[in-house]
Amino acid sequence: MRRAIEVAKQGSFTTTPNPNVGCVIVNKNNQIIGEGFHHQAGSPHAEVHALKMVGKAARGTTVYVTLEPCSHFGRTPPCANALVEANVKRVVIAMQDPNPQVAGKGIAILQAAGIEVVCGVLENEAEKINTGFLKRMRTGLPYVQLKMAASLDGKTAMASGESKWITSAVARQDVQVLRAQSSVILSTSATVLADDPSLTVRLDDFPQMLKATYPLGEVRQPVRVILDSQNRLTLNEKVFKQDGETWLVRKSAANLTLPDNVKLIVEDSPDTQINLSHLMQILAEKQINTVFVEAGASLAGALVEQNLVDELIVYLAPKLLGHNARDLCLLPHLTQLSQAPQFSFTDLKQIGDDVRLTLTRKG
Amino acid sequence: MRRAIEVAKQGSFTTTPNPNVGCVIVNKNNQIIGEGFHHQAGSPHAEVHALKMVGKAARGTTVYVTLEPCSHFGRTPPCANALVEANVKRVVIAMQDPNPQVAGKGIAILQAAGIEVVCGVLENEAEKINTGFLKRMRTGLPYVQLKMAASLDGKTAMASGESKWITSAVARQDVQVLRAQSSVILSTSATVLADDPSLTVRLDDFPQMLKATYPLGEVRQPVRVILDSQNRLTLNEKVFKQDGETWLVRKSAANLTLPDNVKLIVEDSPDTQINLSHLMQILAEKQINTVFVEAGASLAGALVEQNLVDELIVYLAPKLLGHNARDLCLLPHLTQLSQAPQFSFTDLKQIGDDVRLTLTRKG
């Protein structure tokens, strides 16, 4: 199963909106004879790749799979049936699929065919490779990662606005990898107007090893979602002219001619600002598993205050910018220490000259 | 030598102003037959402890010692002579003692007596156990550690001043250990007036293991040095009523009756503020090896701006306090990113719920 989880991770840049799944087939002598992972929605599932590799030798084998085999006809036929037809003897599953279209039905198909099924092996590890997919299936909301970069004293720019660069090139390369794993990169008109960023994934900026193993010829661009409640953007900004889609979020439909790869999302709650919680529901309905937020102190603070952040990823540079520099996070309603949003550290890592701190929301 | 360095560390809470030294004596079969470390100034040196343990069996042995054996009559007779008298065969030394009273003379005494001497074994590791002593000997300045504690976004208190507690009890326990290793705890009248702290080492707050191995019956209290350029303190504050000494630093002699354990230091440079660089020279002249700074954003910023900080120790709590909260470090003269004070991370560690980041000054 540990091997199956490793194999599954190879899809982590490309499977969205589908989950990462890995499959390993083992013969009677406990030798691995087949492996597969899910590459991309619409392409064969992990089990199909592994069965194809094994052919008729699948009969009597044990199959390790990181997520319950599917039971429904989607863009591909159900994997549970394929395992039955291949006459495998035993299927070991890390976890049930919470997708209501599956949710135990895959296991039932296998058991009805007389296949021995074990479920729950390395479940915690399997959970971690599909944080976004699983959260969306269970709650109808995407998994939100808020990326921040600051000096040791929590500053993101000088008083003048000068901010290039606080963190090192190696840290910015690390961000490219996190971007590439996400379904959406979320930013704001304020950031677009200030920096005119592309918000794309650039294969050239990947670490060498990843570049060599990226599972597709062409890089998958996460959808860029840009909040523009005051209709300040003209669509002439760089972010609208990149490969892949950009979704412009406004409060009302606008008199705009949209290029093919730009879509308008109207968030029409009664609030004058964009209702972030509603926006997250909309994104989940559009099958967005993970949202990677790269924006300024206002959006960061609003997401934190509304308890919408699942994970904080904070790059800290080994320098001090002092009290006149700009703050990391605006929390206008916070006055007492006991109300401060709390997180838990889950990872600390040195990235080039900087450190990366990862935290999840507490409680 | 690795064992000798480990042994030397047992003195790290008590040897100041002397260096940490460890000594291991090995017989012809390469078995350890004697060990010793320096406990405290005025008490026997590491070599004397180890030789005493071995007795007449010292003849023909190899002695590993982490610092060049002393050659001068201080409060104890020279160790180089003791090694000669014990008829040891070979002395392996991690590093020369930069103390001008020694500086090669110890090695010369050994060599003159026909003892084989090797110097420079694990020198980098030996350097690390005496950072403060070595800096003082080489530069006439103490080694300055600036401790800071903040939220993830670099805030030390709410706008109201509320700050108890941002970091966890475990982190504050960790601070006790760092305090206990330092020669001086440096703070300001502002901190004393705001918090009325004791600034003492409390054996009860030590981690259990350290409590069991502390090398003295009674804890050594670092000297508390309190900056009071505006003569705001009355000596009725807690910090003046604790075990151990407190040194009050003012710009001029004051009409004050000082208790026995309080001393006045007059920093009489032409500056209206206390000249921090001059203060550090004064402390080094008073044989202070290491200064552990626990103060507010003003002193922190001033020390950083004047390039007087050797090491930053930053505890970060996994919470966000927002832009209205108080800043970590005042750097009033900093306007351009290229002028920002730069450090290098040397250690990252999770301490209870918090993280501790250690950095040294770059360049």
**B316/A357 CB distance under 8 A:** yes
What per-residue confidence (pLDDT) applies to B363?
63
Same domain for A260 and A137, yes or no, is yes
Q: How many domains does chain B have?
A: 2
Are the C-beta atoms of residues A91 and A60 closer than 8 Å to each other?
A: no
Which of B75, B107, B128 lies at the terminal end of a domain, its last residue? B128
Same domain for A141 and A271, yes or no, is yes
Q: Does A344 touch chain B (CB under 8 A)?
A: yes
What per-residue confidence (pLDDT) applies to A213?
75
Which of B82, B105, B128 lies at the terminal end of a domain, its last residue? B128
**A334/B348 CB distance under 8 A:** no
Say how many CB pairs under 8 Å bridge A and B: 160
Model pLDDT for residues A277-321, shown as the tens digit of each residue: 999 999 999 999 999 999 999 999 999 999 999 999 999 999 999
- Rounded CA Rg of chain A: 22
**A164/B337 CB distance under 8 A:** yes
Domain of A7, in residue numbers: 1-128
What per-residue confidence (pLDDT) applies to A287?
96
Same domain for B118 and B180, yes or no, is no
Same domain for A103 and A220, yes or no, is no
Same domain for B192 and B108, yes or no, is no
Which of B102, B128, B154 lies at the terminal end of a domain, its last residue? B128
Nearest Cβ partner for A155 among B152, B154, B164: B154
Secondary structure of chain B in the HEC alphabet? CHHHHHHHHCCCCCCCCCCCCEEEEECCCCCEEEEEECCCCCCCCHHHHHHHHHHHHHCCCEEEECCCCCCCCCCCCCHHHHHHHCCCCEEEECCCCCCCCCCCHHHHHHHHCCCEEEECCCHHHHHHCCHHHHHHHHHCCCEEEEEEEEECCCEEECCCCCCCCCCCHHHHHHHHHHHHHCCEEEEEHHHHHHHCCCCCCCHHHCCHHHHHHCCCCCCCCCEEEEECCCCCCCCCCHHHHCCCCEEEEECCCCCCCCCCCEEEEECCCCCCCCCHHHHHHHHHHCCCCEEEECCCHHHHHHHHHCCCCCEEEEEEECECCCCCCEECCCCCCCCCHHHCCEEEEEEEEEECCEEEEEEEECC
Model pLDDT for residues A129-159, shown as the tens digit of each residue: 999 999 999 999 999 999 999 999 999 999 9
Compute how many other C-beta atoms are within 10 angstroms of the C-beta atom of residue B125.
17
Model pLDDT for residues A79-133, shown as the tens digit of each residue: 888 999 999 999 999 999 999 888 899 999 999 999 999 999 999 999 999 999 9
Same domain for B148 and B225, yes or no, is yes
pLDDT above 70 (res A216): no
Same domain for B168 and B147, yes or no, is yes
Q: Is the model's pTM score more than 0.95?
A: no
ipTM: 0.91
Same domain for B247 and B322, yes or no, is yes
What per-residue confidence (pLDDT) applies to B216?
67
Model pLDDT for residues A165-178, shown as the tens digit of each residue: 999 999 999 999 99
What per-residue confidence (pLDDT) applies to A155?
97
Model pLDDT for residues A22-55, shown as the tens digit of each residue: 999 999 999 999 999 998 888 889 999 999 999 9
Are the C-beta atoms of residues A175 and A199 closer than 8 Å to each other?
A: no
Which residues, including other chains, have CB under 8 Å from residue A102's CB and lie 6 or more apart? A68, A70, A71, A72, A96
Compute how many other C-beta atoms are within 10 angstroms of the C-beta atom of residue B214.
18
Catalytic status, residue A267: no
Same domain for B167 and B43, yes or no, is no
CATH number at B193 reads 3.40.430.10
**A318/B160 CB distance under 8 A:** no
Cα–Cα distance measured from residue B140 to residue B279, given in angstroms and rounded to the nearest whole number: 12
Cα–Cα distance measured from residue B303 to residue B341, given in angstroms and rounded to the nearest whole number: 11
Average pLDDT, chain A: 93
**A154/B154 CB distance under 8 A:** yes
Same domain for A201 and A259, yes or no, is yes
- For B347, the closest chain A residue by CA position comes to A350
CATH number at A59 reads 3.40.140.10
Comparison of pLDDT for A223 and B203, the residue scoring more = A223
Model pLDDT for residues A173-193, shown as the tens digit of each residue: 999 999 999 999 999 999 999
Same domain for B352 and B299, yes or no, is yes
Nearest Cβ partner for B155 among A154, A158, A362: A154
Beta bridge partners of B326: B157
Same domain for A281 and A341, yes or no, is yes
Model pLDDT for residues A48-74, shown as the tens digit of each residue: 999 999 999 999 999 999 999 988 887
Residue ranges for the known binding site of A for substrate are: 163, 179, 202, 294
Chain A interface disruption, residue of B320, B346, B355, most A CBs within 10 A: B320
**B327/A330 CB distance under 8 A:** no
Residue ranges for the known binding site of B for NADP(+) are: 149, 165, 191, 195, 199, 229, 296-302
Nearest chain A Cα distance for residue B151, angstroms: 9
What per-residue confidence (pLDDT) applies to B77?
79
Window B:232-261, CB contacts with A under 8 Å: none
Are the C-beta atoms of residues B340 and A319 closer than 8 Å to each other?
A: yes
Q: Does B297 touch chain A (CB under 8 A)?
A: yes
Spell out which residues of chain A touch residue B342, defining contact as CB-CB under 8 Å. Answer: 318-319
**Torsions phi, psi of A258, nearest 5?**
-95, 130
pLDDT tens string, chain B, 363 residues long: the values are 999 999 999 999 999 999 999 999 999 999 999 999 998 888 889 999 999 998 999 899 999 999 999 888 877 778 888 989 999 999 999 999 999 888 899 999 999 999 999 999 999 999 999 999 999 999 999 999 999 999 999 999 999 999 999 999 999 999 999 999 999 999 999 999 999 999 999 888 887 777 777 766 778 999 999 999 999 999 999 999 999 999 999 999 877 889 999 999 999 999 999 999 999 999 999 999 999 999 999 999 999 999 999 999 999 999 999 999 999 999 999 999 999 999 999 999 999 999 999 999 986
Chain A interface disruption, residue of B146, B152, B307, most A CBs within 10 A: B152
The owner of tokens 């006439």 is B140
What per-residue confidence (pLDDT) applies to B8?
94
**B152/A321 CB distance under 8 A:** no
